[in-house]
């Protein structure tokens, strides 16, 4: 079965998902007129030195809650049920077996992750499996990211240069965007000290985290403890 349109893919540990992730997805979708957005939580992220803090069940639930009111967004468990390291190359290959062409796939990552792309599994052939959409993130500009991978410059383009008919070779597409300066590490640190996270994650995500006491969370949405004290 073949598919029509353009599919954006945002992978990650999502431990937990936050506004920075959603901003990147939104920026890519707007810049490239993506028809659908697929978020893919990783089971065993190969570039992370420690295991995710939350279980696969909770991380999948958090992503589902975060995108529940976003039309065209969905979550996939393809990496959560696949044994072994969660390699992007395997996920992109899986999508192609489901009828997507490489030129229809747009894998989204931040400038910080892109600087390490040469260390990813199956590089450089990985870059032929989809367009790679690099979103500016706080701390690493587009220019800084591309300067660190000079050999890839011939593949680099801007959104307007990507053919609208899903033809031609895959490219590295640079998207300038303003994404919120949020990290999962900061969220976990706040939760461990009973500080609010309302400005970092959607309300539904915060409720799930606090209801299930994830990441050492205590208290309610406003950072109070069980006795109502701040």
Is 132 in the same domain as 218? no
pLDDT at 3: 87
pLDDT along the chain (230 residues), means of 10: 90 97 98 98 83 94 98 97 96 97 97 94 97 92 89 94 86 95 95 95 97 83 38
Count of structural domains within the chain = 2
Same domain membership, residue 170 and residue 71: yes
41 and 128 together in one domain:
yes
Q: Give the end of a domain, one of 159, 175, 191.
A: 175
In a domain, 166, yes or no: yes
Handedness of CA 28, 34, 37, 38 (dihedral sign): negative
Whether residue 1 is contained in a domain is answered as no
Greatest pairwise CA separation for the chain in angstroms: 61
The torsion angles phi and psi of 172, rounded to 5 degrees, stand at -105, 115
Q: Three-state DSSP class for 175?
A: strand
pLDDT, tens digit (0-9, with 9 covering 90-100), for 12-47: 999 999 999 999 999 999 999 999 999 999 999 887
Return the pLDDT at 222: 47
Contact status, residue 209 vs residue 191, Cβ threshold 8 Å = yes
140 and 204, same domain (yes or no): no
Has residue 171 been placed in a domain? yes
Same domain? 31 vs 145: yes
Q: Provide the pLDDT for residue 49.
A: 63
**Residue 107 resides in a domain:** yes
Q: What is the pLDDT of residue 4?
A: 84
The predicted pLDDT at position 68 comes to: 98
Q: What is the pTM of this model?
A: 0.92
- pLDDT value of residue 46: 85
Kindly state whether residues 171 and 190 are assigned to the same domain.
no
Nearest to 137 by CA among 18, 5, 4, 23: 23
Q: What is the DSSP code string of 28-77?
A: HHHHHT-SEEEEEE-SS-TT-SS--SS-HHHHHHHHHHHTTTSTTEEE--
- Do residue 36 and residue 150 come from a single domain? yes
Flag whether 2 is in a domain.
Answer: no
């Amino acid at each position: 079965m073949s598919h029509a349109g353009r599919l954006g893919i945002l992978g990650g540990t999502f431990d937990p998902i936050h506004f920075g992730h959603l901003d990147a997805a939104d920026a890519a979708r707007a810049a490239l007129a993506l028809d659908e957005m697929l978020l893919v939580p990783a089971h065993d992220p190969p570039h992370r030195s420690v295991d995710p803090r939350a279980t696969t069940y909770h991380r999948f639930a958090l992503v589902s809650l975060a995108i529940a009111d976003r039309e065209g967004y969905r979550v996939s468990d393809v990496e959560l049920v696949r044994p072994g390291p969660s390699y992007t190359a395997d996920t992109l290959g899986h999508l192609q077996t489901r009828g997507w062409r490489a030129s229809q796939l747009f894998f989204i990552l931040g400038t910080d992750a892109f600087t390490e792309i040469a260390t990813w599994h199956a590089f450089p052939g990985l870059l032929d499996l989809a367009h790679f959409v690099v979103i500016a993130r706080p701390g690493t500009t587009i220019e800084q990211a591309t300067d660190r991978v000079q050999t890839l410059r011939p593949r680099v383009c801007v959104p307007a240069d990507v053919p609208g008919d899903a033809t031609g070779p895959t490219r590295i597409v640079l998207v300038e965007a303003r994404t919120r300066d949020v990290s999962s590490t900061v969220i976990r640190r706040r939760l461990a000290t009973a500080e609010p996270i309302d400005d970092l994650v959607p309300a539904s995500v915060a409720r799930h985290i606090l209801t299930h006491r994830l990441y050492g969370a205590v208290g309610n949405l406003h950072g109070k403890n069980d006795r109502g004290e701040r």
